[in-house]
Structure 1
Amino acid sequence: MRKRWLLPIFASFMIITGIGANDAEAATISDITNTAKDYIGAPYKFGGTDINTGVDCSSYTQFVFSKLGISLDRTSRAQYQQGSTVSKNNLEAGDLVFFNTSGSGISHVGIYIGDGNFISATPSSGVRIDKLEDPYYWGSRYLGAKRVANFTTTTKGEVKDAGIDFSVYASRGEVALQLSKALALDTSDTNSPFLDLKSSSNYAGAATALEKQGIFSGDEKRKFNAGSPITRGQLAKVLVVAFDLKKQGNAEMFSDVTTANWEYDYVSILSSNKITLGKGDGTFGVNDKVTLKQLELFLDRLTK
């Protein structure tokens, strides 16, 4: 089985900071535990910060939490200063657990994943799961725990804009699915760089593949907004970039798309390639929501 920690990482993340425990936006207990487990077997390297070539214990926890948009300091001692103190009896999945493995205080950190287990990057075996009360090693070295984020217990579904009939209109998620299919992209990597798309999302593989190609970049908060509609102007840009279209001769002039519109060049390129004829009334409908039929028509013309 291909290990997911070998997959390349293509993302920067919105950072959540604070002294107390943060509310991890849309993040669940399953998100933190599954993300942590995704990298079981990743190699250990003292001072290492690359999940593929080797990480130490605090670099691993920092990396896992960053995948959910939560900022941790670099070292185990610094991480121990974050969040709020939690007693061993009140541990919850996602809490950081700390150990004295050197004889001089905090020197190891892991992530509690429930049922008395924690996961960490160990010098002997890399990232692995151990028992917190292990009588042979970890049990006697446990020092304490900190809660740096509050994770929910239920999975939140895809949120779609209210009042929009997505049996008629195309969502950004549907555009991603259809476009990645039309481009024959590899969508097996669901390690999404977008904060609002978990690996379990139906759109994760397509959105990740399109982000790698530079076609979709998300908004200023690194969110993909899969459940939002897309305008005809926005889609024009997406299609021009996706298919690397260049202007081919003359283009139709549309009354609602002037040189003052940021969409002007993209719409002109689509028109010059005979991908769009507008709405038949002299307009392009630049701010209109794209329908599923329109999306199908555009892609059909582009892939003939």
Structure 2
Amino acid sequence: MAPPQRVPSSPPSSAELRSLVLDYLCHSGYVNTARALARGCSPRLDADGDEIMSATLDSAPLPEDALQEARKREEIRRHLLLGEVDAATDLLAREFPSVLSGEGEAPAPASSRSTYVPRTSVDPAHLVLNLRIQAFIEACRTRPPPGSPDAEATASDAPQPTPRLSEEELIAKGTKLYALAKRLPNARDRRTYEEELGHVSALLLYRPPEDERSLAKYMSQARRAAVAEQINSAILYRMGRPVISRLEYYTRYTSTIWSFMHDLRIKAKPGAPVPPTKAADGGAPQQGKATVPEEQPVPQFSIQDFLDARS
């Protein structure tokens, strides 16, 4: 019996690519951009079955409940990126109360992508502590971090290098954080957070704390973004949504497959596509058919090289 013929995979259609982008935009909370894309790129077919692009067509229907949820997540993210932790916490407690309370079980996964767990904790006790720690950091801050949305707005104001609260108030907030950490039921979690609070409390020793290099990671915009990403993932988890977008899912899948092939020293078939590799002269990576010698496995996959080769 002859082996079954493998059907060659076809490239994704423009509709499939649009769906992929729309999923990413909604997942990340970019609702207005998602609406604009759906409205401006709705497809129609001509008499020959070819797709025609028209900016005047009505948008393909996007689930309104998902859009409204994404808009709320976007607002929470915006507050956190601006350092407005209390506003973000209030909105989170009002719109997604189970995230911080933990009441009720998370809905059953809607798809196989939901089997991916968030990279960060969704434990309500951890989320509350992380938000309170970030609020303490923001209270110690004397100026917006570089690259933040609020940095340009205050660039011309020349603010005084003083925190928002008095030293006594900051010490009181720090004491409450330690008390909150001691209430964690898991001993390992308590040790982790107490160690973290030891570093964060050092913000009280420097004026302004932004100028102390050892504390730079706590005062950076990246710290705000990390908290925002954790909260966004926790919301998706509690709402039963996939915790990663389809784009991230496909990226993970592709990276894993190529990495296994490389580690297992599997050789690519003649003419088969392989991951791009850097040019011998150090130039931009080249994307194309297999060019590796027969005795060598397929190259290691690098997402950065892949993006550079496509640019």
TM-score (norm 2): 0.23
From the two aligned structures, give the one with the greater strand fraction.
1
From the two aligned structures, give the one with the greater helix fraction.
2
